[in-house]
Amino acid sequence: MTSIQSIQKGRAVVPRRTALFGVHGVGKAQPLDALILTPHGFVKMADIAVGDSVIGSDGKSHTVLGVYPQGDKEVFRVTFRDGSTTRCCADHLWFTQTFVERRAGLAGAVRPLRDIQRTLRYGTHFNHGVPRVHPVQFAAVDDHLPIDPWLLGMFLGDGSSRSTSVTITNQESDIQAKVAASISELDASVNVTDAATAVRIRSKRHGRPSVLMAAIRELGLDGLESHDKFIPPIYLHAGVEERLALLQGLLDSDGFVTKPGAVEFCTTSPRLAEDACFLIRSLGGSAKNILKPRPTFTHHGEKRVGRPAYRIFASFPADLVPVASSKHMAKWQEPRWAIRHTIRSIESVGRMPCQCIRIDAPDSLYVTDDFILTHNSTFAAMAEKPVFIQTEEGVNDLGVDRFPLAARYGDVLNSLSVLYSEPHEYLTVVIDSLDWLERLIFAEVCAQRGVESIEDIGYAKGYVFALTQWREVLAGLDALRAHRGMSVILIAHAAIEKFNNPETDSYDRYVPRLQKQASALIQEWCDEVFFATYRVLTKTTSEGFDRKRTQGIGTGERIIRTTERPAHVAKNRLNLPDEFPLDYRIYAAFVRGENPLASTETPSEQGA
């Protein structure tokens, strides 16, 4: 063959190198007045800012990495088995386990609310169950808890306060002994009657209130009737052990075991009922509050109507024991089956301003109203025979073939080596995500250099050294393309950076959430860099006096942008349209030289 004969003609079909980055949770949002759990309690979605801390599915604090206004969207109320509710848009992602998945022992998957609504029931069964939050670890409380948590729970259930002393009406001997052990050494516990049906805690110091009485006054609980009692906020946000002891005190007094893993608690105080539900859910339990508006009872042969009663039916995971008394422990058994936190109804509640957030939790789950877990991520899963190299745990939810979660940089290289050297039928390798891979690379560089932080290397040289690992990864991916015919998809999250344009004023734009030099290297290596976002329409209304108000209205349509704009970076080498729906099958058709949008109207540009 001559040199001229070796010249290749026409368009070569080679495995593509594609990077997709975008707003995490594209088109998935909650209304601005939805409550988001933070280490200090619930706050409104509207008040969440980048850098704030919110509670993840592990019950721990996680940093908010991005806040993305979504404009006006149709919002739905989602109601669960225990009556807890939250609100979100139709595209909001949830991790759920369906009835079939539960029967088959499968973990579940991430699904948009619109799909959940379509498959709400499986026969007579409620189909979708969501996981429960692990016991929440609130921020450390500086204030000293003035009363032993168990004793406070016992007082709220069986206690009363008068003058200088406190009475606990409970005749169980182990409870009376525990009360005596829980009070200050300056107080004494004595039986009120010969029958020992109650104990009184009084001061050993003549003429002075008991230490317990002083603490009750400090907490604002002195003299309250049963229907006015409440749990002080410092106890609701105390540590896990303290909250569990408080719950045990409540249930040892006014609760009883109903069946394995479940209890009932009853109170006439609406605030105490609300606080008890908060307490139970914050520990990972389920609490259903049922109002009995006109309970009846018999007093000396006369039938009477009592105050409205709040009956709370609670269930708990196997590793949590919510009772402590001998009577309750004799009945307590681990749950024989799991009480599913199933979705019972989904109903539209109108349009309202929404936004979504992204947090640094590997599974992207955060806690919203009533301690409900909701999802914070998918394009690559539709590629041809994909296998994922996962550096963040959200991939587990997609139901795709994947390597074990990479704990270090070497795990990623090992996965690339396995795909190169061992027989398999995969045609696409996906790294999800690049920004979590970057953390592993930084850890590798730090280990090699004997420092704790990439910044400790000085003069920003750590980022330069990290390019060696990045080039190593790209070389491995090139080998898979050349020798195994595998396409490459790289997933990244988005960040907003200030772009200094020499021809205009500086402005913000979306870029991959990577260090600048690494981002430039990857963008240059890729054939396509796509920005995933949502279509936003604008509506301008007159407010009088020559004033106008412009609103962004989210349509819920997810799209890919393929060419660079002031608002984001992007590129492609296939002469693609500026944007098309977020669907890998459409992109694959363009790669094959087809035009899947030829028979439809090309979407017009909206926004930046």
| DSSP H or E run through 160 | strand 159-162
pLDDT at residue 556 greater than cutoff 50: no
Q: What distance in Å separates the CA atoms of residue 523 and residue 563, rounded to the nearest whole number?
A: 13
Q: What is the pLDDT of residue 195?
A: 65
Tokens for 292? 């009995």
Digit-coded pLDDT (tens) for 283-329? 999 999 999 887 777 777 788 777 889 999 999 888 899 999 999 99
Residues 370/371/376/382 CA torsion (nearest 10 deg): -100
Categorize the per-residue pLDDT at 607 as very low, low, confident or very high, splitting at 50, 70 and 90.
very low
Residue carrying the six token digits 């088995």: 81
- Identify which of 110, 204, 202, 605 has the alpha carbon closest to the alpha carbon of residue 396: 110
pLDDT at residue 213 greater than cutoff 90: yes
Q: How many CB atoms lie within 10 A of CB 538?
A: 11
Q: What distance in Å separates the CA atoms of residue 282 and residue 240, rounded to the nearest whole number?
A: 9
Task: Indicate whether 602 belongs to any domain.
Answer: no
Q: What is the pLDDT of residue 554?
A: 41
Angle (CA) 569 575 579, round 5°: 55
Q: What distance in Å separates the CA atoms of residue 294 and residue 131, rounded to the nearest whole number?
A: 35
- Helices 434-449 and 409-421 pack at an angle, to 10 degrees, of 110
**393/370 same-domain check:** no
Task: Please say whether the beta carbons of 341 and 129 come within 8 A.
Answer: yes
Q: What is the pLDDT of residue 161?
A: 86
**277/402 same-domain check:** no
Angle (CA) 168 173 175, round 5°: 50
pLDDT at residue 68 greater than cutoff 50: yes
Question: Which of 270, 305, 331 is the last residue before a domain boundary?
Answer: 331
Task: Indicate whether 9 belongs to any domain.
Answer: no
Digit-coded pLDDT (tens) for 234-284? 999 999 999 999 999 999 999 999 988 899 999 999 999 999 999 999 999
Task: Indicate whether 73 belongs to any domain.
Answer: yes
pLDDT at residue 165 greater than cutoff 50: yes
**117/172 same-domain check:** no
pLDDT at residue 467 greater than cutoff 70: yes
**132/159 same-domain check:** no
Digit-coded pLDDT (tens) for 331-357? 998 887 666 789 999 999 999 998 888
Categorize the per-residue pLDDT at 541 as very low, low, confident or very high, splitting at 50, 70 and 90.
low
**274/182 same-domain check:** yes
Q: What distance in Å separates the CA atoms of residue 85 and residue 117, rounded to the nearest whole number?
A: 15
Task: Indicate whether 608 belongs to any domain.
Answer: no
Tokens for 304? 């009477």
**What's the total number of domains in the chain?**
3
**483/423 same-domain check:** yes
**369/504 same-domain check:** no
Categorize the per-residue pLDDT at 605 as very low, low, confident or very high, splitting at 50, 70 and 90.
very low
Residues contacting residue 520 through CB under 8 Å, at least 6 positions apart: none
What pTM value is reported for the model? 0.62
**209/247 same-domain check:** yes
Phi-psi category of residue 6: left, alpha or beta, with phi > 0 → left and psi -120 to 50 → alpha:
alpha
Q: Give Cα separations from 125 to 247, 342, 343, 514 (angstroms).
A: 32, 10, 11, 45
**491/418 same-domain check:** yes
**503/577 same-domain check:** yes
Task: Indicate whether 173 belongs to any domain.
Answer: yes
Comparison of pLDDT for 377 and 452, the residue scoring more: 452
pLDDT at residue 6 greater than cutoff 80: no
DSSP string spanning 210-246? -HHHHHHHHTT-TT--GGG----HHHHTS-HHHHHHH
What CATH code is carried by the domain that includes residue 260? 3.10.28.10
Q: Where are the beta strands (DSSP E) in 377-443?
A: 386-390, 428-432
Categorize the per-residue pLDDT at 397 as very low, low, confident or very high, splitting at 50, 70 and 90.
very low
pLDDT at residue 145 greater than cutoff 70: yes
Q: What is the pLDDT of residue 550?
A: 45
User: DSSP label at 336?
Assistant: S
Q: What is the pLDDT of residue 604?
A: 35
Task: Indicate whether 365 belongs to any domain.
Answer: yes
**391/370 same-domain check:** no
Q: State whether residue 310 is helix, strand or coil.
A: strand
Task: Indicate whether 169 belongs to any domain.
Answer: yes
Antiparallel, parallel or unpaired: β 199-203 and 187-191: antiparallel
Parent domain of 44: 29-136+340-375
Task: Indicate whether 23 belongs to any domain.
Answer: no
